[in-house]
Structures are given as C-alpha cells and as structure tokens.
Amino acid sequence: MAGFEKMWNRPSQQGMGQRVGSLVKPQGALKPRVQAAIARIQKQGAKLDAMLAKLRERDAAVFTKVVEATQRHDTSGARVLSCELTEIRKVSRVLGNARMALQKVELRLTTAHDVGDTLVAIMPTIGVMNGMKSSLAKFMPGADQEISRMSEVLGGMMGETFSEADGGSDAAMTEESAQILNEAAAVAQAGSDGKFPTMPADAGEASSETTASSKFF
C-alpha cells in the first residue's frame, strides 16, 4: 500500500536519460498522467461540442432551404438539398457517438482519480491499524482478522479501479466504438480546414447526387 502512495503522488520530473527511456516505456507518477488524460479528453470534447453546434445550425438552415424549394415546386433543388442534409445528419450522428464515448472514458478516469486520492488519504490510517493488530488481538479476539480484511478490500478496490481505467478490460469498447472514434478523428481533422470528408460506404448508402455535399463550411 505504501508503494501505491509513492506511485500515485511521485513527482513526474525526469532527467534526460529518463526522457529518452520514456519514449519506449512511459514512466512518472500515475496521478499527473490521469489528470493530463482527463484534461486532453475534456479539450477534445469541447471541440466536438463546438462542431456539433455548427452542424445543428447548418442542419436547420439547409432544412429551411428544402422547405422553401418545395414551396417553389423546385423538385431537383429540393432533392439536392435533402441529400446534403442527409450527409450533415450522418456526420452529426458520428460526432454524437464519439462525444458519448469520450464522456464514458472521462467518467472512468475521473472515478479512478477520485478513488486514488481516497486511498492515499486512508492508507496512513490503515497502516496505524495494522501496527495495532497484535495489541488489539490480546483484548479483542478476531480484531486482527477484521483489520486484515479491511486492507484486502482496499487493495482489491484499488486494483479493480485502475485495471478498468487502463481500458484493457473495458468490454464496452467494441470494434464499432473504435471505428466511430477513428471516423470522428478524421472529421475533426478536416473540420480544422473548414471541410468535412465524405463518409465511409458502411456509414450509410449515399446518393449519387451528393458529390460535393460533404463540404459544409
């Protein structure tokens, strides 16, 4: 348990040799790394929120144009606009799913961060109690066993929390979720240039009239 406290709060300062070694095997205190991951996820989440807001505005504007074209009986114009609106909504669904995935990861890391702080605060007390086991056993039969169980519970909780936070045992992160994140990353990269790429074929059947419909901004 004392080793966990050092791993959790250890300063992440590194020398030149350690920096080179970290390229192969990342090192440093666990808490700052968790905090950095949460900050990065929040930053990307804010970018996705901004893009989703723009897409909602674009959705409303294009839908209004579809209605106006329909009122003018401009069938071909309404069809082209409706295809563009379909593409906008496809991208909105992809980004929305990516936003939900980021929120899930952020929640998992935040839980790990909070539990880590709690364990660091509790461990000194557990250490004192462990030191008293032999004394308490003379006056309170079974007290040493109860204290040992408490230590085991805390150790198990710590292990489960951080093994899940690493993402390796996250069964919910399926291949489909990974594909969604990859697609969202491509959309976000193109969005920085003011353009959205054409959606993959498996994202939905695209109309042949939507050649340039993926350029929204």
- Percent of the chain predicted with pLDDT > 70: 43
Distances (CA, A) of 39 to 7, 110, 172: 20, 10, 22
Tell me how far apart the alpha carbons of residues 85 and 122 are, in angstroms, rounded to a whole number.
55
Once rounded to an integer, what is the mean pLDDT over residues 207-216?
42
Tell me how far apart the alpha carbons of residues 98 and 24 are, in angstroms, rounded to a whole number.
29
Predicted pLDDT at 53: 94
Long-range contacts of 31-40 (CB under 8 A, 24+ apart): 31/113, 31/116, 31/117, 34/109, 34/112, 34/113, 34/116, 34/165, 35/113, 37/109, 38/106, 38/109, 38/110, 38/113
- Is residue 112 within 8 A of residue 34, CB to CB? The reply is yes
Once rounded to an integer, what is the mean pLDDT over residues 53-73?
90
At which residue do the structure tokens 């109309």 appear? 207
List the single range of 23-27, 32-36, 101-105 with lowest mean pLDDT: 23-27
Q: Does domain 29-197 have CATH number 1.20.1270?
A: yes
> Is the per-residue pLDDT at 50 higher than 90?
yes
- Report helix, strand or coil for 125: helix
**Mean pLDDT computed over every residue of the chain:** 68
Distances (CA, A) of 184 to 21, 187, 190, 196: 32, 5, 10, 10
Once rounded to an integer, what is the mean pLDDT over residues 144-171?
59
Q: Where are the domains of the chain?
A: 29-197
pTM of the model as a whole: 0.51
Give me 63's structure tokens.
């839908």
> Is the per-residue pLDDT at 176 higher than 50?
yes
Give the side-chain half-sphere CA count within 13 A for 151: 18
Predicted pLDDT at 60: 92
List the single range of 104-113, 115-124, 137-146, 182-191 with lowest mean pLDDT: 182-191
List the single range of 5-9, 57-61, 118-122 with lowest mean pLDDT: 5-9
Tell me how far apart the alpha carbons of residues 7 and 22 are, in angstroms, rounded to a whole number.
16
